[in-house]
Amino acid sequence: MGDRGVDFSQRPATWLVLATDGPALELESLAPASTRIRAVADPTVFASLLHEGRPRIAIVATPPASDPELELVARERRRRSSLRTIHLSAPAEAAARLEALRQGYDDALPQSIDPRELAGRAALLEEQARPRAGVSVEIADGLELDLVAHELRRDGRAVHLRPKEFQLLAMLAAHPGRAFTRRQLLDRVWGLDQIGDPRTVDVHVRWLRSKVEREPDQPVHLVTIRGVGYRLDPPHR
């Protein structure tokens, strides 16, 4: 069976579905109006869209999903804190649903579920995953900066930051995509009356990269702008 798509525009799907039949294919008329849904039957296509499209909800049914696809979605859920996942299986496969929950799926349901309930559960998960305005900022995949708790979290676990590291990261996160000189960063984070070496900024950026970047020697978020200074590129940029 080929792709069964609800939205085939160039915009990425909000909900991404891997299924060949069942309630997941009835979500078109039941999901919130702003939701874009794409349902595919090919696990390879699904895997590509999961990585490239950054959906908010991933719904996988077995079949066509098998262990590799289920593990892929579980890994992506651990990597990206804004993603929510639902596993669907035959009513008799309770053990498979329990295993999905152990792997980190947000919900695991029988294929006999009413499509309206499935749509409601997915919408609730999406709502719960949205960061509260002004409270948290997504820095990288699976990495959020909580501006109230003064805490950096990777997949829900706290990452230790020195006070100036937090202030520097928070300042850059408040202006995503904007480049700052070392002097500007020194003035804004350490204070206008600070008599310091701009290389202090370099040291703190190096420390931050070790905590923010998956490959600190090849940063993709906290990047150097030659002849200027530094810029923070969030994951959606």
pLDDT > 70 fraction of the chain, expressed in percent and rounded: 89
Domain 161-232: which topology?
Arc Repressor Mutant, subunit A (1.10.10)
Tell me, what's the pLDDT at 151?
86
Tell me, what's the pLDDT at 191?
75
Please write down the HEC assignment for all residues of 103-137: HCCCEEEECCCCHHHHHHHHHHHHHHHCCCCCCEE
Query: Mean per-residue pLDDT for 188-206?
Result: 80
CA 150 to CA 171: how far, in whole Å? Answer: 12
Tell me, what's the pLDDT at 192?
59
Q: Which residue ranges make up each domain of the chain? A: 4-129, 161-232
Tell me, what's the pLDDT at 15?
92
- Residue 159's Cα: distance from chain center in Å? 17
Tell me, what's the pLDDT at 2?
41
- Other residues' Cβ atoms within 10 Å of the Cβ of residue 47: 17
116: confidence class by pLDDT, cuts 50, 70, 90: very high
Tell me, what's the pLDDT at 133?
53
Q: Which of 27-36, 53-62, 127-136 has the highest mean pLDDT?
A: 53-62
CA 196 to CA 106: how far, in whole Å? Answer: 48
Q: Is the pLDDT of residue 131 over 50?
A: yes
Strands, E, within 90-211: which ranges? 107-110, 136-140, 143-146, 151-154, 157-159, 180-181
The tens digit of pLDDT for each residue in 134-192 reads 577 888 888 888 887 788 888 777 889 998 999 999 999 888 889 999 988 988 888 75
Q: Is the pLDDT of residue 4 over 70?
A: no
Whether domain 4-129 has CATH 3.40.50.2300: the reply is yes
Mean pLDDT of the chain: 85
Tell me, what's the pLDDT at 194?
59
